[in-house]
Chain A
Amino acid sequence: MLLSLAPSALPIGIHGIEKRFGALSILSDLSLDVAAGEFLTLLGPSGSGKTTLLMILAGFVRANAGSIKVGGEEIITMPPHKRNIGMVFQNYALFPHMNVFHNIAFPLKQRRVSAAETAERVERALDLVQLKGLGERRVDQLSGGQRQRVALARAIVFEPRIVLMDEPLSALDKGLREHMQIELRNLHRRLGMTTVYVTHDQREAITMSDRIAVMNAGRIEQIDQPEVLYARPKTKFVAGFIGESNFIPVECRNGSVWYEDRKLRMNDPAPSAGRHLMVVRPEKLRLLADADQARPVNALPATVGDVIYQGDSFICYATLRDGRQVTLRDYCRSDVLAKLPAPGEPITLGIDAQDVVLVTDQ
């Protein structure tokens, strides 16, 4: 019953893309490799160039320079209709003057597929997106989620080498969006097509992707698997954009890293000499009891500010000795709650050596 895409999934090699509008540079010297069958997400704030890059891949925006190779074949000057790339738009762009069947059959019609085969393939695609039997529906009779599925079916029915998606879930409400994230993810696992997905929603990116390319101001800041990206951000932007972070200024001299007069214990090798920022996720900060001092942990003295309960967890704002405010998050377990200090009390915050991540201070 499956469309068999896996054998034809192809890698994409993007190299040296330049895009300028007049004097304004949108993308500069951008390079990126997407493996065959990979689900890669372009994540970034609006204006970071992620949609422009997607449009260049699809052929709707022309780059000023660069190369895009799909399975080794250069496609940068190829017109969109010859690229064999399935695309799902943010607003779905279903054709309102055609019913569901004809929407999905559209790419097959362009490829002069016979009527019998078209009917069969549209039926399979409808089945795949769980819309069996809705072929005769008009587009305006569909719910938001159903439209999304039709757009998806239309983009994969012709077995494209690559599928591009431009924030396809952003128009759906939260519950449906989370459901569709899992569904899209499973569909990708079953069909194995190379997918480039654009979103500004970090949670969506983390849920769905094999790898995430974080974009900022026309450049790729970091490409990594979601868990690496979260645990080991390479730049301050990535650390700030994905999840919450405390930034604590540290200095590197004589091959070790210092926070004020304390030498930090860390697993990573020390970086180059100079000023750096230590990235600490709120849930990696711990309240230290005296007994914990023996472990290889970095202890930071601080004063408790507000403590905010959020049901399953709590947030504790604390002020370090240098006056910097940091955030700590933990679950409301009874043992943690028992040692929770009152506002104004001095405490010691702990960071495990393995959780110390340094980025350059830009």
Chain B
Amino acid sequence: MSAESSLPITHWQRLWLYLLGGLVMLFLIAPSVIIVIMSFSGSTLLQFPPEQWSLRWYESYFGSVEWRDATIVSVKVAVMTAIVATPLGTAAAYAINAGTLRLTGAINALLTASLIIPVILIGIGTFFLYARIGLNNTLTGLVIAHTVQALPLVVLTVLSGLRSYDMNQEMVARSLGAGRFAAFLQVTMPQLRFSIVSGALFAFITSFDEVVVSLFISGGETTTLTRRMFNALRDQIDPTIAAISTCLIVLSIVLLSAAQLFGRGR
């Protein structure tokens, strides 16, 4: 028994708990696992486990111009969102952490508002606004809307990094002759890089997986992958989506592990 939970209860007495917890974990992970397996099925029927194996759904995904274009739009938007949201969020987190401004609480609430405001309302509102300034169905419009949604994640991630960082280091750097920005670049940022990179990865995933707002403000040339998937699912269940879903799951795993590995390697 480990030291941290050395209560006089044996693992055996807790068996029921492990069973229950295991079932819930199965419930959480099973859908993803099933989809990954089904994506290699050779038939159009939904059989599990599949009777024949093939890559036909991947061929159908990569072979389709529509899916490919939608993927390219999503990647472009997600990369740009990460590029825009990361510096903005980092700057905001730094200012909030300095904490000398009045209304810090209100500013914090405003920056993280998009996490709690119903996304459907953001979608309708953005569509309404964009209709007037001609940003609907544009990459710029998507990047702006996704940046607003990704911003709180960058702010919260960098803020939690800053809270475990010793600000004395930046002060000492300044006393040693570095201006505020130079001290941030040379001393603070290298030590925050894990948080900043994590924030950027979260911003990327947030944008790439975003559905509801994209449903309203993307279309035509700029239809995102998720919007196309949503429409496809409304009509019928196309196994091609299993292949796309598998790619999205793999992407999430890769990005999350990247964030973890980067954290360990510092």
Q: Is the CB of A85 within 8 A of B168?
A: no
| Given contacts A81-B174, A95-B187, A89 and B168 within 8 Å (CB-CB) | yes
CA distance A60 to B169 in the complex (A): 12
B182 near A110: Cβ-Cβ < 8 Å: yes
Residues of B within 8 A of A121 (CB): none
Contacts of A79 in B (CB 8 A): 174, 179-180
8 Å CB contacts to A: which residues of B154-188? 166, 168-169, 171-180, 182-183, 186-187
Give chain A interface residues in 334-361, CB to chain B under 8 Å: none
Given contacts A95-B187, A96-B191, A97-B190, contact A110 B168 (CB under 8 A): no
Report B-chain residues with C-beta under 8 Å of the C-beta of A96.
Answer: 191
- Among B173, B177, B190, point to the contact of A158 (Cβ < 8 A): B177
Looking at chain B's contact residues, the main secondary structure is helix
A200 within 8 A of B: no
Q: How far is the CA of A110 from the CA of B179 in the complex (A)?
A: 9
For residue A247, CB closer than 8 A to chain B, the reply is no
Q: Are B191 and A87 in contact (CB under 8 A)?
A: no
Q: In whole angstroms, how far apart are the Cα atoms of A95 and B165 in the complex?
A: 11
Cβ–Cβ contact A158 & B176, under 8 A = yes
The 8 closest A-B pairs by CB, nearest first: A110-B177, A107-B176, A93-B168, A87-B175, A80-B174, A93-B172, A93-B169, A97-B190
B residues whose Cβ falls under 8 Å from a Cβ of A = 166, 168-169, 171-180, 182-183, 186-187, 190-191
Q: A79-B180, A85-B175 are in contact. List 19 more A-B contacts (CB 8 A).
A: A59-B174, A59-B175, A60-B171, A81-B174, A81-B176, A81-B178, A84-B177, A87-B172, A89-B168, A89-B171, A89-B172, A93-B172, A95-B187, A96-B191, A106-B176, A106-B178, A110-B176, A110-B178, A164-B175
27 contacts between A and B (CB under 8 A): A58-B171, A59-B175, A60-B171, A79-B174, A79-B179, A80-B175, A81-B177, A81-B178, A81-B180, A81-B183, A87-B172, A87-B176, A89-B171, A89-B172, A91-B168, A93-B166, A93-B171, A93-B172, A95-B169, A106-B186, A107-B176, A110-B176, A110-B177, A110-B182, A154-B176, A155-B175, A164-B175
